[in-house]
Every structure is written in C-alpha cells, then in structure tokens.
C-alpha cells in the first residue's frame, strides 16, 4: 500500500495541476504561482474518521474554493474527473465518491491494502525509515548541572530528547546528541561547600550548616567516598579524591565527577546515550564569551546604561532590552547561552533543537536576539525549542514529593525501580510536551488495558504466542495476500500503512507522543482482529496469509516501540484481574 499511496499522491498532484491549468477564468499569474506553491500541501490524503466513508480522503477542493472563487463540490467533481484518467487511480482505486461540501473519498482496491503486508516483511526493521537526507541536526537535551540526581523532570526531558533523536534519524537525518552542563559557578561552589561540611561532621539543621547547601543523603555518600580516597569515572571525566578536608577545590571536582557518574548511571538505566558533552566553563576558558560580547558591541546592537551593558533585544521581537553585563562586571546567564549557540552554528549545525522545561521560555527570545544581532546570517528561528512542563508523581493515591536519596524530588531511578524502564519511557512521552502530566505509579504496574504500555506490549507478546502455535513464520513470504479480505484484516492493514506518514509527521512536529498514540491504535486494531478471526484454521493458505499479517503487525509494533526506547517482549506475565485481555494460552 505504500507504493500505491505514493503513486496516488503523485496522481493527485498531477490532477490538481491540470485543474489549475484548465480553470476558467484563469487566475492571475501571481495567484497561480501562489496556488502552485500550495500543491505539495494540498496533494495529500487524510484518513476518514468513519471507515464506511472510504480508505482515503482528499480535502483539496474545499481549500481551493475560495482562491478560485468556485463551488467546492463543482471543483471536487472536476478533480474526480481528472483523477479517474490517471493510471495509478485506475490501478489502485476501486471507487471515488464526493461527500458533504466537497470531500473526495477513495475506496482502495483490495490489492492496494494487501500490499502493505509484503512491504513490511521485506523492509523489516527499516519499514517507515527514509534514506540519508544529508541533513545534520544537533539535539541538546537533559543538560542537568551535576548538583544532584536526575529528577522526574530530567526524565521527561531525556525521554523526549532521545525519542526525537530517533524520529529524526528515521527520516534519514544525521543526529548528534549533546549534553551541556555548568561545571563551575555558584551552584557548583555550594555543592563543594555542602560536601566539605559533611566531611567536617555537620549535617542539615546543625549550627554552621551552609544556608544554600544541598541536603540530600547523596551529599553524605560523596563525603564518605572522598574521605576514603576513591576514584570516580564518568563518561566525560574522572577524579581521584585526596581525602583532604581543607582542599575545597578538590572536594568540588570530586563531587562533580561523582554526580556526573551518578547521572550516567541514571541515563544508562533509562537507555539514553550522548555523543558529546559540552562544558559551560569551556566558553570562558576559550574566550568565546568575551568574543561574543565584542561581536555584539561591534554590531552596534548594545548600549551602556546605569553602569551595565545592554542588548537591544527589542529590535528582534523581545519584550524589553536585556542586560548582558551587570554593574559588577559579571555576565548574565543568557550571554554564555548565546556564545554556546554560536559555537553550535560554527560547528556546522544549521539545525539545532533544544529540549527544555517551560520555565526556560523567557530565554528563547533573548538567545535568538543575541544570535541575530551578531550578524552571521543565522536563521531567525535558530535554535528550535521543545518546551515541556514538569510532572507530578502519584503513588498509592497520593502525590509523592520527596525522595530520601535525592532530598528534593523523585528521581528517575526511583521511578524505574518502582515500575520499569519501559513504563517510565512510554509514560513520559505519552502526552504532548507542553501539557501537564501526572505519572501514576499504580497505573504503570497494572496488567490490563488501562496501562497503555502493557496494552501495546501485550499485543506483541500475543502475536508471538499465536505464531508459535499456528505454524511459525518461515513460509509467510509466499503467502497469498489476496485471502485477506475480512473487515478486521482490512482495518489492520490500513493501520499498518499509516505508519510511514505518521513517522514523518511526528519527526517534523517533534512529537513523539504521536508514536505512542499510534501504538495504542495499532494494538487496539490488532486486538479487534484477534477477537474476530482465528489464525489456526484448516485452510492452509488462509492460515499462512493471516500469519503474514501478524508478522507484519509485530514488526511495526517493534519498530515503533524501539523509537521510544521501549522493548517488545515475546511473552508477558499477566495479572489475573485482567479479564478484558484473554490469556495468551487460550489459543490462536
């Protein structure tokens, strides 16, 4: 069906162009150029909300009605006439109907729907993926300062960032995963003082305990390992403790390495990796921050007032000008951000995506303003941002606000230990990034269709069980797919055929939640098929065709789950209370 949809999309494009060329009175040259520019958007298919309306729908006639000053139903009829003359339509379409104000509904020929099974089986892990595009994209995510364990907000960041990287790679882009963090400054100094205070026998609440100290139990663990002279190894640094309580610099370096190692453990438990680590301190040591300020001053986009240096960020859409250098000579935090993004651009990454919490929304305009003011031809929307809201955690019907280990909030590792990596990863991308979300630990442990990740994984496990009982997979490549004509089979094939277009949209929109939604729909469509048809039938050809369909379904489930960093188990334990999901052992 993928071949059929591609051919039909080209046929629709040609039919639309013919319609524009033959419309009377002819639009002006300017209007025609504008309409031709719309063709790539207009030449696409939608899925009708009601299956009885057909398999594909075209809404182009209604979109063209106003600019062409024509009745949309008349345009739809003219478009249908031109479509019927296209060879691809004659080959792949069984019927064309006009409905409502100008919808065109296409009912595909059975062979078009059945073809997707073979397409999935041939492409296997690559089904839905595009060839190399030649585009380089950097995605910066997590970027947590090494002052404590990764909390659930970092977990949502990691799940979003990693899934977006996977989506972009599925579209043929070369993706670099980058982790940026501050290894110096006030917070890091407070970290060192916190550990030093523990080494001196103090604890939170004692007289002399620093007011801005970190209070989690992990500070005591760092102090103990420093006193023992241990060596810690993180992905980007290592350090051996001296055990000297008076050496604050060494204590601080050890604490940073220790917590970077802890973050690495969290990320490995989460199945997330990075290609590069970038230190904020390097922006200062390399002179990049000073150089960026000099460039901005030279561009004429700064001014002095009240002893401070200001950026004319209102020239670029910001709501007010921003201080770059304070009266005490120190830079505000957005200045190194501008320097960092200049470094990204100079490294050849003309497309950059940052995953950040919505509390960082104020930095978007000022960072972009700084990059525009430098005058290097950086695109106005550079960098792109995906902003996400923080999440709440519920357990036992109550909100969990504290973690003894973290001292401030629930950590990523807490969630994984309470549930599973699969549940955490799936849940954290199951809603749009900019929406509120509550992680329900009890729901994540349920073994029924209320739990979305269980529901999807169970579909894959059920298919594996059915295939094992119904004859395996060795001969499915020779299946007669024309035997797949039952309504539930057709619905499942149509859902499989949606996968490549869904992937492209999800990648374009930075929307991994679309993959989670699709997985639930595919699982539901499969479960409906399972309830309607048997695979273990006496008709050998029908048996083989249905096994081929199940193989294709399992493949797409695996492919989509992998993009989210979630496993596709071949067997699963079930809760006895899950009465709405018949046991795997019931048969095929």
Q: Where in the chain is the domain with CATH 1.10.730.10?
A: 452-586
Predicted pLDDT of residue 408: 63
- CA gap 201, 172 in Å, rounded: 55
- CA gap 429, 402 in Å, rounded: 23
pLDDT bin (cut points 50, 70, 90) of residue 491 is very high
Predicted pLDDT of residue 574: 53
User: Poorest-confidence range of 45-54, 193-202, 432-441?
Assistant: 45-54
User: Poorest-confidence range of 40-54, 100-114, 305-319, 418-432?
Assistant: 40-54
Bin 537: left if φ > 0, else alpha if -120 < ψ < 50, else beta.
Answer: beta
**323 strand-pairing partners:** 310
- CA gap 516, 456 in Å, rounded: 9
Predicted pLDDT of residue 579: 40
- CA gap 118, 115 in Å, rounded: 6
Task: Give me the percent of the chain exceeding a pLDDT of 90.
Answer: 80
In degrees and rounded to multiples of 5, residue 30 shows phi and psi of -65, -45
pLDDT bin (cut points 50, 70, 90) of residue 228 is very high
Domain 2-108: which CATH number of 3.40.50.720, 3.30.1360.70, 3.40.50.150, 2.160.20.10: 3.30.1360.70
Q: CA-CA distances (angstroms) from residue 572 to 170, 448, 473, 587?
A: 28, 12, 20, 15
Task: Detail the DSSP E strand segments found in 223-358.
Answer: 231-233, 238-240, 276-279, 302-305, 308-311, 322-325, 351-357
Q: Does residue 197 sit in helix, strand or coil? A: helix
Please compute, for residue 451, the number of CA atoms within 13 A of its CA located in the half-sphere on the CB side.
23
pLDDT tens digits, 555-586: 999 999 999 999 999 998 654 334 445 544 44
Predicted pLDDT of residue 111: 94
- CA gap 243, 67 in Å, rounded: 77
- Output the six-digit token pair for 68: 């062409």
pLDDT bin (cut points 50, 70, 90) of residue 402 is low
pLDDT tens digits, 343-390: 999 999 999 999 999 988 888 999 999 999 998 999 999 999 999 998
Q: Where in the chain is the domain with CATH 3.30.1360.70?
A: 2-108
Confidence check: pLDDT of 587 > 70: no
For helices 110-123 and 487-497, the axis angle rounded to 10 degrees is 50
Predicted pLDDT of residue 576: 35
Mean pLDDT of 294-310: 96
Cis bond before residue 383 (omega within 30° of 0): yes
Predicted pLDDT of residue 37: 80
- CA gap 588, 586 in Å, rounded: 7
DSSP letter for each residue of 26-66? PPPHHHHHHHHHHHHHHS--B--SSGGG-SEEE-HHHHHHH
Pairing of strands 103-108, 276-279: unpaired
- Output the six-digit token pair for 504: 């492209």
Q: pLDDT averaged over the chain?
A: 92
Q: Which CATH architecture has domain 452-586?
A: Orthogonal Bundle (1.10)
pLDDT bin (cut points 50, 70, 90) of residue 3 is confident
Predicted pLDDT of residue 303: 97
């Amino acid at each position: 069906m993928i071949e059929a949809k591609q051919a039909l999309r080209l046929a629709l494009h040609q039919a639309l162009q013919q319609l524009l060329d033959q419309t009377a009175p002819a639009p002006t040259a300017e209007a025609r150029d504008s309409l031709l520019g719309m063709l790539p958007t207009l030449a696409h298919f939608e899925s009708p909300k009601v299956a009885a309306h057909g398999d594909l729908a075209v809404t182009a006639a209604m979109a063209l009605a106003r600019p062409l000053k024509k009745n949309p139903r008349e345009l739809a009829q003219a478009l249908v006439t031109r479509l019927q003359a296209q060879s691809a339509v004659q080959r792949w379409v069984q019927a064309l109907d006009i409905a409502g104000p100008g919808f065109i509904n296409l009912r595909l020929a059975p062979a078009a729907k059945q073809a997707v099974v073979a397409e999935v089986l041939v492409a296997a892990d690559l089904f839905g993926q595009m060839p190399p595009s030649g585009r380089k994209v950097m995605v910066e995510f997590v970027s947590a300062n090494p002052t404590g364990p990764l909390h659930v907000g970092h977990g949502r960041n990691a799940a979003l960032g990693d899934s977006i990287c996977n989506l972009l790679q599925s579209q043929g882009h070369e993706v670099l995963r980058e982790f940026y963090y501050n290894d110096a400054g006030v917070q890091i100094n407070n970290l060192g003082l916190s550990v030093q205070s523990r080494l001196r026998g103090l604890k939170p609440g004692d007289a002399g305990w620093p007011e801005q100290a970190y209070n989690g139990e992990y500070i005591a663990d760092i102090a103990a390992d420093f006193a023992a002279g241990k060596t810690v190894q993180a992905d980007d640094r290592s350090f051996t403790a001296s055990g000297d309580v008076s050496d604050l610099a060494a204590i601080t370096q050890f604490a940073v390495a220790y917590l970077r190692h802890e973050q690495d453990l969290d990320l490995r438990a989460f199945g997330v990796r990075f290609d590069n680590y970038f230190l904020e301190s390097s922006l200062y040591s390399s002179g990049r921050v000073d150089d960026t300020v000099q460039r901005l001053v030279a561009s004429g986009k700064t001014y002095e007032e009240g002893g401070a240096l200001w950026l004319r960020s209102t020239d670029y859409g910001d709501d007010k000008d921003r201080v770059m250098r304070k009266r005490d000579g120190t830079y505000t935090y957005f200045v190194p951000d501008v320097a960092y993004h200049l470094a990204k651009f100079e490294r050849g990454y003309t497309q950059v995506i940052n995953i950040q919490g919505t509390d960082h929304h104020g930095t978007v305009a000022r960072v972009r303003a700084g990059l525009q003011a430098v005058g290097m031809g950086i695109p106005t929307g550079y960098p792109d941002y995906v902003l996400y809201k923080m999440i709440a955690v519920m357990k036992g019907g109550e909100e969990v606000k504290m973690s003894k280990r973290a001292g401030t909030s629930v950590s990523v590792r807490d969630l994984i230990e309470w549930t599973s990596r699969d549940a955490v990863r799936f849940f954290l991308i199951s809603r749009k990034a900019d929406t509120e979300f509550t992680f329900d630990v009890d729901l994540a442990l349920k073994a029924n269709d209320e739990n979305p990740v269980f529901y999807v994984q169970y579909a894959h496990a059920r298919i594996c069980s059915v295939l094992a009982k119904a004859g395996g997979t060795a001969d499915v490549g020779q299946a007669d797919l024309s035997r797949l004509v039952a309504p539930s089979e057709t619905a499942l094939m149509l859902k499989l055929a949606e996968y490549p277009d869904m992937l492209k949209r999800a990648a374009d929109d930075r929307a991994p939640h679309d993959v989670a939604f699709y997985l639930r729909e595919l699982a539901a469509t499969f479960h409906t098929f399972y309830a309607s048809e048997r695979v273990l039938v006496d008709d050998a050809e029908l048996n083989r065709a249905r096994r081929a369909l199940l193989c294709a379904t399992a493949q797409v489930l695996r492919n989509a789950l992998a993009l989210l960093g979630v496993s596709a188990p071949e067997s699963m334990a079930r809760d006895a209370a899950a009465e709405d999901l018949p046991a795997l052992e019931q048969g095929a």
